[in-house]
């Protein structure tokens, strides 16, 4: 059966669009037009595609901060501190290293924004809101910055310390001001430390005003326009209200880096300035840094580089010091000592002094490793 355009539906859509446009709610105009393109695509695909193209090539997209000059950054009425930080052109010190599943999801979010027509033809919208979950220092903020850079949008970061007003009743107003401001920009908005303002409403230890704040946040997320990307990050997902969880279409887990990821990270940090150290020490440091976050690893590497530069010592001496931490389990110290000797970086005696592993253990483990390699080569033949 051939579908036909319903005159009453078209009139209703046009009147709704006119009413919203006259009220000056630009982001809502985008929402209505996107829904119209999706609704009419099965009936009038050329019209829907033209509408989608118009939205995608809107003059507003060429100037993400088009209204910033007219809209000053929101401030807290008590402290007069800015409630957000805007990075007009997000930059990264180095390329992030994401776990494979995480990298795939982040890449898909970017592709959704670059090719919205494909989604609309399937009756879908690009991802509006995503929740980043993981311990501190694993790359959640960097992922937000990476997404903003890839999309060519400014990154807006909510300063929760400023949003939590000394007069708690104003915190809801602060939050509204931030999100209303961000809605008028084609941007990536990051709500960092979300658990500070989105705690479970069944937590009897929280006062009523904080519970009302969760309701305000839910309303604002529901009203977030498809033109922007809303991200939130939390280190304590168990504290979040279940209704907040449901508002985010994507839940992205940020795990602690594994040995392969740490090796790549250390190599990326050292190679531009110390290529030889990167070649010889990246895999050893990956063993020593197992269970650590990217930010912890970067801090220790920076401290070693500073000490070597100021003391006029080879960087390798400082890197060796990172392998002697008391927190490194004995099993990993044995692996480290065997690898150090196996790569010819130190003698057995020096490796013992560095790691505390007996020379007999280093010798026996090294011999066992060589035997295993010979067997693999023999089977390969």
Whether 230 and 191 have beta carbons less than 8 Å apart is answered as yes
Report the alpha-carbon distance of residue 365 to residue 355 in Å, rounded: 14
| The pair of three-digit structure tokens given for residue 84, joined into one six-digit string | 């957000």
CB–CB of 335/355 below 8 Å?
no
What CATH class does 84-253 carry? alpha beta
pLDDT, average across residues 270-298: 90
Mean pLDDT of 154-172: 68
Query: In the predicted model, what is the mean pLDDT of residues 243-248?
Result: 90
Residue 265 has pLDDT above 90, yes or no: yes
Sign of the Cα pseudo-torsion (14, 22, 172, 76, in order): positive
Does position 346 have pLDDT exceeding 50, yes or no? yes
How large is the average pLDDT for residues 83-100? 87
- Residues in the chain, total: 381
Domain ranges of the chain: 7-57, 84-253, 259-380
* DSSP code at position 82: B
- Split at pLDDT 50, 70, 90, the class of 72 is low
- Average pLDDT in the 347-362 region? 81
How far does CA 207 lie from the centroid of its chain?
31
Q: Are 87 and 192 in contact (CB under 8 A)?
A: no
Answer whether 349's CB lies under 8 Å from 359's CB. yes
Q: Which of 201-210, 252-261, 273-282, 317-326 has the highest mean pLDDT?
A: 252-261
Q: How many helices, marked H, and strands, marked E, lie in the chain?
A: 17, 6
95 in Cβ contact with 268 (< 8 Å): yes
Q: Report d(CA 193, CA 158) in Å as an integer.
A: 9
Q: Which of 6-15, 110-119, 248-257 has the lowest mean pLDDT?
A: 6-15
C-alpha–C-alpha distance, residues 282 and 267, integer Å = 6
pLDDT at 168: 54
List the one residue out of 170, 189, 171, 169 whose CA is nearest residue 179. 189
What six digits make up the tokens of 29?
């105009």
The residue written with tokens 């392998």 in the block is 323
User: In the predicted model, is pLDDT for residue 309 greater than 80?
Assistant: yes
pLDDT of residue 129 exceeding 70, the answer is yes
- Do 83 and 162 meet the contact criterion of CB atoms below 8 Å apart? yes
Name the CA radius of gyration of the chain, rounded.
Answer: 27
pLDDT in tens, 313-322: 999 889 888 8
Distance CA 33, CA 17 (A): 8
65 half-sphere exposure, CB direction, 13 A CA radius: 13
> According to the model, what pLDDT value does residue 161 have?
56
Distance of CA 317 to the CA centre of its chain: 34
In DSSP terms, which residues pair with 189 in a beta bridge? 156, 230
Mean pLDDT of 305-311: 94
Strand order of the β-sheet with 229-234 is: 84-87, 155-158, 188-191, 229-234, 129-133, 250-253
Residue 263: pLDDT band (50, 70, 90) is: very high
């Amino acid at each position: 059966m051939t579908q036909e355009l319903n005159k009453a539906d078209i009139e209703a859509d046009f009147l709704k669009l006119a009413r919203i446009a006259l009220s000056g709610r630009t982001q809502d105009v985008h929402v209505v037009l996107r829904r119209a393109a999706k609704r009419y695509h099965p009936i009038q695909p050329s019209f829907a595609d033209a509408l989608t193209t118009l939205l995608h090539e809107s003059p507003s997209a060429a100037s993400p901060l088009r209204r910033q000059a007219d809209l000053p950054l929101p401030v807290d009425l008590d402290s007069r501190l800015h409630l957000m930080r805007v990075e007009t052109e997000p930059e990264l010190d180095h390329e992030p290293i994401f776990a494979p599943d995480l990298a795939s999801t982040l890449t898909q979010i970017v592709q959704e924004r670059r090719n919205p027509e494909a989604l609309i033809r399937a009756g879908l919208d690009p991802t509006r809101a995503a929740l980043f979950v993981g311990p501190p220092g694993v790359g959640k903020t960097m992922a937000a910055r990476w997404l903003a850079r890839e999309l060519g949008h400014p990154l807006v970061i909510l300063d929760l310390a400023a949003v939590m007003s000394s007069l708690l009743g104003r915190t809801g107003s602060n939050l509204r001001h931030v999100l209303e401001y961000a809605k008028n920009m084609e941007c990536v908005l990051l709500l960092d430390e979300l658990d500070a303002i989105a705690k479970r409403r069944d937590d009897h230890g929280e006062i009523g005003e904080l519970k009302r704040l969760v309701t305000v946040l839910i309303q604002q997320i529901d009203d977030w326009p498809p033109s922007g990307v809303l991200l939130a990050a939390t280190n304590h997902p168990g504290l979040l209200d279940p209704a907040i969880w449901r508002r985010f279409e994507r839940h992205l887990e940020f795990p602690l880096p594994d040995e392969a990821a740490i090796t790549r990270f250390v190599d990326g940090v050292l190679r531009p300035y110390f290529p030889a150290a990167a070649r010889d020490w990246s895999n050893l440091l990956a063993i020593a840094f197992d269970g650590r976050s990217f930010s912890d690893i970067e801090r220790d590497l920076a401290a070693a580089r500073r000490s070597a530069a100021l003391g006029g010592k080879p960087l390798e001496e400082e890197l060796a010091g990172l392998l002697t931490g008391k927190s490194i389990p004995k099993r990993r110290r044995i692996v480290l000592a065997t690898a150090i000797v196996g790569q010819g970086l130190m003698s057995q005696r020096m490796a013992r002094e560095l790691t505390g592993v007996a020379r007999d253990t280093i010798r026996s483990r090294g011999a066992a490793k060589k035997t295993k390699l010979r067997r693999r080569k023999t089977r390969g033949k």
